[in-house]
């Protein structure tokens, strides 16, 4: 009869590797979103913020420090302005298959 042994240290190394590789994705999304963001003053691009808020949990945001809601308005549009999405397409480009 075959015997299977699990190397617990190997499992911990695998988990660390996966988390390390997964941490590259939010940064890549932010870089792509900066490239896709519409430019008028450059303030929207400069407002990118990527933060790890928990182990393997990341927050990507735009608009930090801006006096208005242009980050949301650009992404979703308004009744007077068409949407010019930059964050959703960037996230789509970095999706894991």
Query: Is 96's pLDDT higher than 90?
Result: no
- Where would I find the beta strands (DSSP E) of the chain? 49-54, 57-61
What average pLDDT score do residues 35-64 get?
89
Q: What are the residue boundaries of the structural domains of the chain, listed by start?
A: 24-93
Q: How would residue 70 be classed by pLDDT, with cut points 50, 70 and 90?
A: confident
What mean pLDDT is predicted for residues 59-79? 90
Instruction: Give one DSSP letter per residue of 26-53, joined into a string.
Output: HHHHHHHHHHHS--SSSHHHHT-EEEEE
Is residue 33 scored above 90 in pLDDT? Answer: yes
Closest to 46 measured CA to CA, from 22, 65, 73: 65
Among 57, 78, 58, CA closest to 68: 78
């Amino acid at each position: 009869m075959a015997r299977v042994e699990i190397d617990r240290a190997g499992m911990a190394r695998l988990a660390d590797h996966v988390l390390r590789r997964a941490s590259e994705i939010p940064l890549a999304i932010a870089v792509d979103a900066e490239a896709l963001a519409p430019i008028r003053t450059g303030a929207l691009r400069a407002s990118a913020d990527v933060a790890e808020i928990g182990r393997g949990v990341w927050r990507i945001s735009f608009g930090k420090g801006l006096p208005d809601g242009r980050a949301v308005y650009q992404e979703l549009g308004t009744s007077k302005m068409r949407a010019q999405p930059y964050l959703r397409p960037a996230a789509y480009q970095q999706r894991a298959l």
